[in-house]
Amino acid sequence: MSKQPSASPIDEVIRLAELAGLRFPEEDLELLAVALADHSRLVASMLESDVSELGSALTFDPRWRA
C-alpha cells in the first residue's frame, strides 16, 4: 500500500482552521505555519511528560464538609 504524502505545514494550518470553523487570510498562512512549528517544538518535551500520577483535577471547598 502506498504511503499517503504528509500534508505541508500550510495545509496543516488550513486543516486545523477548518476544524475550528475558521478561514484565515492567505497572507497569514505561511507565518502561521512557522509559528505552529515553533510552538510544537516548544511543547514537545511537555507533551512527553508523564502526568498520570497527578491527582484529581477537581478540588472541593473545605466548607462542604461542614
Q: How far apart are CA 33 and CA 24, in angstroms?
A: 12
Answer yes or no: are the C-beta atoms of 64 and 41 closer than 8 Å. Answer: no
Q: Which is nearer to other proteins, 1 or 44 (CB)?
A: 44
User: Out of 2, 25, 62, 65, which residue is the one contacting other proteins (CB under 8 A)?
Assistant: 25
The amino acid occupying position 53 is E
Nearer to other proteins, 1 or 57 (CB): 57
Cα maximum dimension of the chain:
65
Query: Binding to other proteins by residue 28, rule CB under 8 A?
Result: yes
Q: Which is nearer to other proteins, 1 or 58 (CB)?
A: 58
